[in-house]
Amino acid sequence: MTSKITRTLSESQEGQIVEEKIYKANGEISFKRYSKGRFLGKGGFARVYEFLNLDSKQISAGKIISKASLNKSRARQKLMSEIKIHRSLNNQNIVRFEHFFEDSDNVYILLELCTNQTLSELIRRRKRLTEIEVQCYTFQAISALKYLHAHRVIHRDIKLGNLFLSDKMELKLGDFGLATKLEFDGERKRTICGTPNYIAPEILEGTHGHSYEVDTWSLGVLIYTMLIGKPPFETNDVKLTYRRIKMNAYSFPDQVPISKEARDIVSEILINDPTARPSLDDLLAHPFLCKNSLPKLLPASTLAVPPSSAYLKQFESTGKDDVKLSRPPRSSSQTRISEDLRSNRLEDGRLTEREIKSTNRVISRTESTACGSNTSRKTATISCYNFISGGPTLWVNKWVDYSNKYGLGYMLSNGCAGVYFNDASKIVANSKGDSFQYISRSGNGREETMVQHTIPNFPSELQKKVTLLQHFRKHLMIDKLCGDESKELVYIKKWLLTEHAIIFRLSNKVVQVSFLDKSELLLCSDSKMVTYVDKQGMPAIYPLSSAMETQNREMAKRLRYTKEILTSMLHPQTAGTGEYRPTGKNED
């Protein structure tokens, strides 16, 4: 084991030597020597220089923080937290933390050198970026955020100046001075921090704390800034900027032409209710990032000038079912939110753009377009359910939670589409879409009636519901995979969205629990069997009676969770550990 201390021979000028003193376990002392090179920049706390390791010849960015600036315990804590969080991270879109040491005057942090400065200098030079560049940088920024959030880290200072460019033009997120690590899922943070133009409204409001969604907000500000050239809420007065953020007061200037997809992604993110913002997976599947193939990295020429039209031509969209060359296959929980569903206004009932933006979350079990091997694996898995004896023959493949306006739209594995409306009535169409069943409560509300209709011969009072059904059907349409379509159509009787899963009770007595980590449980009360599909998509089937005693701990854990939720659905007043948060609509 070694302990380290350093001596700066001459601090004031470039070209000086910094020595790191290393105490070895056997009592010997050695020195690591660095030559302080070119000045790279300075922030609120640090001055940053190129540091050449004189042994390995490796060049790093050396961040020098004077100990005099750390006399307040808050500043010390901030630095300790920055080091603790940053050194634990390892991702190609995050500035690599190499090493840190100290001497009597300074703390030194050695970081991966990013020779092409930050997006801040880039925008200063270029004024604004072309959409292909914004797509490319946004994609990489989301990759960094996905990694961070998966490790329970919130960055809290996403902005142009903290996104660095490496010599290869790879985007690297840096500066973890405001980052925080959550102790547990669901923890809320209360510190007011961030950079004024990028700060999320929930941080300013401060009432319910904040979480990962603040990074998504700042990402929205970042995308806008790259496209337009200045931040959306910018004013000369910070207080006014905060007021504009709280009021969501921003607009797209007419003089900067941007695509509809670009506008959409910004306005879908910049929603003041953090729970209505899209997830990072939703964003990766957004038309803005999917409409054409993306370059993995941009040419260095774009540091000074926009990409040439010859260069742009290679990435032009070739059709709506393009398979993206440079993008990893999308996961099953990501699907392209249909362009039409966003923009189409429904006759009657009218979806406004804003409503769609704040509510539209699509979760799918399969991709409707070919998207690499992921799709075929999922499809194969789903088909597998049928070959396991006692396994369910029908399940929910895709759904759209539109419950803050209309209800839950879904597509079953046999190609039948349905809607569970907020008034607890249900509608389900056959796979051809030319007839449907309408299920509603009558009399004292206790009796359920089911009436079969054909299209277009149905009562006019059902027009709005049929229109909605057709919209959902159109946008969730997938190939018929498997599962019988019997005369009496199966539909969702109840559903519930919790923090970890969405639960469907189907009219064929199957309970389907689709967990956010992509594992799934299907409880079949007729066959008394449980099908468990793990995160990798492998199905296994167990008798219901012995499933709890299984060695499969992952499944047992999910079964316990499901049992708890089903119990609380039946006895809402007695159950509830506070571990889940029902938000879906239900019958009594």
Ligand X SMILES: Nc1ncnc2c1ncn2[C@@H]1O[C@H](COP(=O)(O)OP(=O)(O)OP(=O)(O)O)[C@@H](O)[C@H]1O
* Binding-site sequence positions for ATP: 63
- Tell me the window of 37-45, 210-218, 314-322, 335-343 that interacts with ligand X (CB under 6 A): 37-45
Q: In the complex with ligand X, which residue's Cβ is closer, 59 or 411?
A: 59
Closest approach, Cβ 107 to ligand X, in A, equals 11
State which of residues 100, 122, 126, 161 lies at the interface with ligand X (CB under 6 A): 161
Q: Give the residue numbers of the binding site.
A: 63
DSSP-derived pairing of the beta strands 106-112 and 163-165: unpaired
Residue indicated by tokens 């069943």: 437
Over its C-alpha atoms, the chain yields an Rg (Å, rounded) of: 28
Return the range that interacts with ligand X (CB under 6 A); candidates 41-49, 403-411, 530-538, 574-582.
41-49
**Given the complex with ligand X, which of 118 and 437 has the nearer CB atom?**
118
What span, in angstroms and rounded, lies between the C-alpha atoms of 235 and 228?
15
Q: Which residues have a Cβ under 8 Å from the Cβ of 165 and sit 6 or more positions away?
A: 114, 115, 116, 117, 118, 119, 122, 171, 172, 303
Beta strands in 403-488 (DSSP E): 407-412, 417-421, 426-429, 435-442, 447-454
Which of 6, 8, 45, 160 is in the footprint of ligand X by CB under 6 A?
A: 45
Q: Interface with ligand X includes 40 (CB under 6 A)? A: yes
Alpha-carbon distance 343 to 280, whole Å?
22
Peptide bond into 328 cis (omega under 30): no
Q: Interface with ligand X includes 113 (CB under 6 A)?
A: yes
Q: Which of 6, 18, 34, 48 binds ligand X (CB under 6 A)?
A: 48
581: tokens are 């948060």
Q: Give the shortest CB-111-to-ligand X separation in angstroms.
A: 4
Window of 105-113, 251-259, 426-434, 464-472 that interacts with ligand X by CB under 6 A: 105-113
Which of 103, 157, 175, 281 is catalytic? The answer is 157
175 binds ligand X (CB under 6 A): yes
Exactly one of 174, 407, 418, 483 binds ligand X (CB under 6 A); which one? 174
Q: CB-wise, 119 or 363, nearer to ligand X?
A: 119
Position among 18, 46, 226, 285 found at the interface with ligand X (CB under 6 A): 46
Q: Does 163 bind ligand X (CB under 6 A)?
A: no
Is the CB of 160 or the CB of 529 nearer to ligand X?
Answer: 160
Task: Give the DSSP letter string of 205-272.
Answer: H-SS-B-THHHHHHHHHHHHHHHHSS-TT--SSHHHHHHHHHHT-----TTS---HHHHHHHHHH--S
| DSSP classification of residue 117 | -
Helix (H) or strand (E) run with residue 359 in it? helix 353-359
Binding status of residue 164 toward ligand X by CB under 6 A: yes
Beta pairing, strands 529-533 & 153-154: unpaired
Residues numbered 378-417 forming contacts with ligand X, rule: CB under 6 A: none
Q: Which of 52, 111, 269, 408 binds ligand X (CB under 6 A)?
A: 111
Instruction: Report the number of secondary-structure helices (H) and strands (E) in the chain.
Output: 15, 24
Residue 63 CB neighbour total at 10 angstroms: 26
SS3 of 143, please?
helix
The CA-CA-CA angle for residues 249, 253, 254, to 5°, reads 135
- Nearer Cβ to ligand X (140/292): 140
Subset of 115-134 contacting ligand X (CB under 6 A) = 118
Which listed residue (4, 5, 32, 41) binds ligand X by CB under 6 A? 41
Active site residue 479: no
Token pair for 253: 């200037």
Q: Please identify, among the stretches 35-43, 261-269, 395-403, 501-509, the one whose residues bind ligand X according to the rule CB under 6 A.
A: 35-43
- What distance in Å separates the CA atoms of residue 35 and residue 53, rounded to the nearest whole number? 7
> Does 70 help bind ligand X (rule: CB under 6 A)?
no
Of 69 and 235, the one with the shorter C-beta distance to ligand X is: 69
Site for ligand X contains 42 (CB under 6 A): yes
Q: Which stretch binds ligand X (CB under 6 A): 44-52, 125-133, 206-214, 325-333?
A: 44-52
Could you list the active site residues? 157
The footprint of ligand X (CB under 6 A) covers 40-46, 48, 61, 95, 111-114, 118, 161, 164, 174-175, 177
